[in-house]
Amino acid sequence: MIAGLLATFGMACGGGQDAPEANDGGREMNAPHPATAQEEGHEDPGFSDDYVLFGQSAAFTGPAQELGKAMRLGIEAAFHEANQAGGVHGRELKLRALDDGYETDFAASNTERLIESERVFALIGAVGTPTSRAASPLAQAAGVPFLAPFTGAEFLRDRKLDNVLNVRASYYQETEEMVARLTEDLGITRVAVLYQDDSFGLNGLEGTRLALERRGLKPVAASHYPRNTRAVKGAVLKITEAKPEAVIMIGSYMPVVKTIELVRRELDPVFMTVSFVGSNALANELGPDGAGVYVTQVVPLPDDENIPVVARYHSALSEYDPQAEPGFVSLEGYLAGRLAVAGLKACGPNLSRECLLHAVRDAGTIEIDGMQLKYGPDDNQGSDAVFLTVIGTDGKYHGVEKLRSPY
């Protein structure tokens, strides 16, 4: 069935490129040779008495590579933390990471490889909506848990997807917060949308459209650009012609940076973007020009060690990689890893994929150092939290409760 689904995706996505090289990360994870279920005596593959093997397909090259690298870093930090404490029920946690370059056909082929050849126990930390849309049906068909994808796409919140466990709030929730703050705090009614021309961008566009519609408004302009490019000039022209008071951007950091640069040559609107942008990379690319750009986040400020889970994240990150800089995406990756650990612990020594999924769903609430993730039979999303942040004149992110102009 997986091969058939993969063939369908290959035709739909149009291949034709050389696949990015497999990437296990900067460190050798010493993943064991994949054993069959029969060899290990287990119903499900991907684990033995000594280890549990997880798989990740994400962008480690290309314009979205900082997102994949940061997500992997956070997962590895959480796994390293658990392994230093003796593993989970004596099992070491391992990660096999493959590069998909944020392209759907590579994400599909990687997922088939991870399931069929690498024989991972579960998939974790997929990066992106279009890539998750290509990968998740393969995981669903094989009964493989699909944990904590780095996307707020609505299709992954479908209650029928009994193998998916999300951590983060949805894009609909992020765009609702944006529109609420723009209209209520600043009285803004003229909102334009720049979006990536794929399922990610369309999902964010629809969330924005619905939020505006609830207030009797609609976008004054909505224009798109191709994924994995910075080709935004045509889209920006449409936006500037509409003279918006605010621009909501549904994209990754490189095209968002270019959009801000070009729009500011003509206008000075409020700029807002969603968490997928890659906040640290965005601030670094914008430099001093980033002041006043708003980003909705789905995790707390990663430098606020007064928050217990953030303090624990800092400790795990420094133990795993002392040179690593804390960030929003790696914090989300850390939470993804901690969710996997919590599920494995709840299962006890008698592990199975079904047990992992039920352990999380049936727990109701999973507490990770003060942060609560709430699940249920019809709810596969742990957190509904959306945090509004702004880049300050110091180049750092600051939490804000209310918009003010100018920043």
**Count of other CB atoms within 10 angstroms of residue 140:** 16
Q: Note the pLDDT tens digit of each residue in 334-380.
A: 999 999 999 999 999 999 999 999 999 998 899 999 999 999 988 99
Predicted local distance difference test score (pLDDT) of residue 195: 97
Phi and psi at 48, nearest 5°, equal -140, -165
Q: Cα–Cα–Cα angle for 339, 342, 347, nearest 5°?
A: 130
Are residues 60 and 125 in contact, defined by beta-carbon separation less than 8 angstroms?
no
Mean pLDDT in residue range 230-259: 97
Q: When comparing pLDDT for 1 and 172, which is higher?
A: 172
Predicted local distance difference test score (pLDDT) of residue 159: 87
**Count of other CB atoms within 10 angstroms of residue 138:** 26
Half-sphere exposure of 234 (CA within 13 A, CB side): 9
Asked if omega into 406 is within 30° of 0 (cis), the reply is yes
Q: Note the pLDDT tens digit of each residue in 124-154.
A: 999 999 999 999 999 999 999 999 999 999 9
Predicted local distance difference test score (pLDDT) of residue 43: 81
- Rg of the chain over Cα atoms, rounded to whole angstroms, equals 21
CA gap 192, 224 in Å, rounded = 11
**Separate counts of helices (H) and strands (E) for the chain:** 13, 14
Predicted local distance difference test score (pLDDT) of residue 377: 87
Q: Hey, what amino acid is at 248?
A: I
Are residues 123 and 161 in contact, defined by beta-carbon separation less than 8 angstroms?
no
Within its chain, how far is the Cα of 85 from the centroid? Answer: 27
Q: Which of 182, 181, 178, 146 is nearest to 162 (CA)?
A: 146
| Structural domains of the chain sorted by starting position, each given as residue range(s) with its CATH number in brackets | 2-168+307-374 (3.40.50.2300), 171-297+387-399 (3.40.50.2300)
- Does 26 score more than 80 pLDDT? no
Name the average pLDDT for the chain.
Answer: 91
* DSSP annotation of 102: T
Q: Note the pLDDT tens digit of each residue in 204-228.
A: 999 999 999 999 999 999 999 999 8
Q: What is the DSSP string of 349-391?
A: SS--HHHHHHHHHHHSEEEETTEEEE-BTTB-B-----EEEEE
Residues in the chain: 407
Q: Note the pLDDT tens digit of each residue in 47-93.
A: 999 999 999 999 999 989 999 999 999 999 999 999 999 999 999 99
Q: Which of 240, 295, 243 is nearest to 272 (CA)?
A: 295
Are residues 27 and 118 in contact, defined by beta-carbon separation less than 8 angstroms?
no
Q: Which helix (H) or strand (E) holds 7?
A: helix 2-13
- Does 247 score more than 50 pLDDT? yes
Bridge partners of 224, per DSSP, are: 195
Kindly state the percentage of the chain with pLDDT values over 70: 89
Distances (CA, A) of 125 to 93, 169, 241, 324: 15, 15, 39, 19
Within its chain, how far is the Cα of 361 from the centroid? Answer: 20
